[in-house]
Amino acid sequence: MPTIFTRIIDGEIPGTFIWRDEKCVGFMSINPMSFGHALVVPIREVDHWVDLEPDIAQHLFDVAYRISKAQQAAFSPERIGLIIAGYEVPHTHIHVLPTNQMSDLSFSNAASSVDRDDLERAADAIHQQLVAQGEETGITR
């Protein structure tokens, strides 16, 4: 059975995308720990990130880096945090999130729901910065 992320990637479930290429996607978290919290997910389902092919792992981190630069420009947080936990969904994903303090990196801060307008506003701000930085995001917003 496909993971929820595969269902989002395939368009069966709505997602708020900021990146799409042949290897991965980036979309906004529906349980954000901070405003602008995004996920970078390989298209191919791989449960544990250490089982990724090295070129895919490198690509995911490259995309996460590009998204983090856009988040920094869009939201001016103190830092951008990255988390690979892998327990919530059995499909590798990197959490990329603007933070202002260490406690922002706690999953206990995850919202149980989010307003669709907030997701779109954050995605638009990130996407605008990606485009301003010359990135080809594969997404039209």
Q: How far is CA 62 from the centre of its chain?
A: 12
The two three-digit tokens of residue 62, written as one number: 């490259």
The two three-digit tokens of residue 94, written as one number: 């990197």
Digit-coded pLDDT (tens) for 69-128: 999 999 999 999 999 998 889 999 999 999 999 999 999 999 998 999 999 999 999 999
Residue 28 is predicted with a pLDDT of 98
Phi/psi of residue 23, each to 5°? -110, -30
Contact 45, 6 (CB under 8 A): yes
Residue 30 is predicted with a pLDDT of 95
pLDDT at 129 over 90: yes
Q: What is the spatial order of strands in the sheet that 94-99 belongs to?
A: 17-20, 24-28, 38-42, 94-99, 79-83
3-state secondary structure 71-98: HHHHHCCCEEEEECCCCCCCCCCEEEEE
pLDDT band at residue 25 under the 50/70/90 scheme = very high
pTM of the complete model: 0.96
For the 4-131 domain, the top CATH level (class) is alpha beta
Digit-coded pLDDT (tens) for 29-85: 999 999 999 999 999 999 999 999 999 999 999 999 999 999 999 999 999 999 999
Give the Cβ contact number of residue 23 at 10 Å.
16
